[in-house]
Amino acid sequence: MNETDREELAALLREAMPSERPALEKDLWPRMLETLDRRPRPVPWLDWALAAGAASWCAAFPSALSALLCQL
């Protein structure tokens, strides 16, 4: 690659990539703190039922534990 090719490539890259980043309308950190301060959502009953079913399945068939871990 000679100097002319490098200059041409640099010009194409400068043209394709904007030098200025778009400004955010407002700071996102306060919204993130509000999200973290909110009360956590309760776990749905279906999740508890699936966890209980997996636990009872592993208790009934101990060799199935490795198969269950492979699916996670």
Report the predicted TM-score, pTM, of the whole model to 2 decimal places.
0.42
Rounded CA gap, 11 and 8, in Å?
5
pLDDT value at residue 30: 87
**pLDDT tens readout for residues 9-66:** 988 888 888 777 767 677 888 888 888 888 888 889 999 999 999 889 888 988 888 8
Residue 58 CA, distance from chain mean position: 30
What token pair was written down for 9? Answer: 């490539």
**Among 72, 39, 44, 43, CA closest to 58:** 72
Higher pLDDT, 1 or 56: 56
pLDDT value at residue 50: 92
